[in-house]
Amino acid sequence: DKSYTWLSLALCIFLILTPTDHRYAFLTFTAGAGLGYYLELWGTTRECWTYYTYQTPPLFAVLAHGMAAVAFWRAGLVAKMIGGRIRWRWPQQAEVKEEA
């Protein structure tokens, strides 16, 4: 049973097929992958964790950080879209009136 694999695949397909700003998505992916590279490099060279490939860092882990960055960004956009449709009232800062 590979239910999480199918769930991950469905999420990736959803992220690819839904309309978005492709330039911003690419920049988010690149930034996430870049930061993921240094995180994975730090963790694997200090032997905090290892992968079955024994690479430091493995390419799939680096690219997973980029995909996760895009997924979190897109999830935030979806939450804002849904929140706008059902008119969630986000907490607002109280206004201070100036005395005369």
User: Which candidate, 33, 28, 22, 30, places its Cα nearest to that of 60?
Assistant: 33
Q: Which amino acid is at 43?
A: G
pLDDT of residue 92: 66
Q: What would the 3-class secondary structure string for 64-96 be?
A: HHHHHHHHHHHHHHHHHHHHHHCCCCCCCCCCC
Query: Per-residue confidence of the chain (100 residues) as pLDDT tens digits?
Result: 789 989 988 887 887 777 778 899 899 999 999 999 999 999 999 989 998 888 888 898 999 999 899 989 988 888 888 877 766 566 666 677 777 6
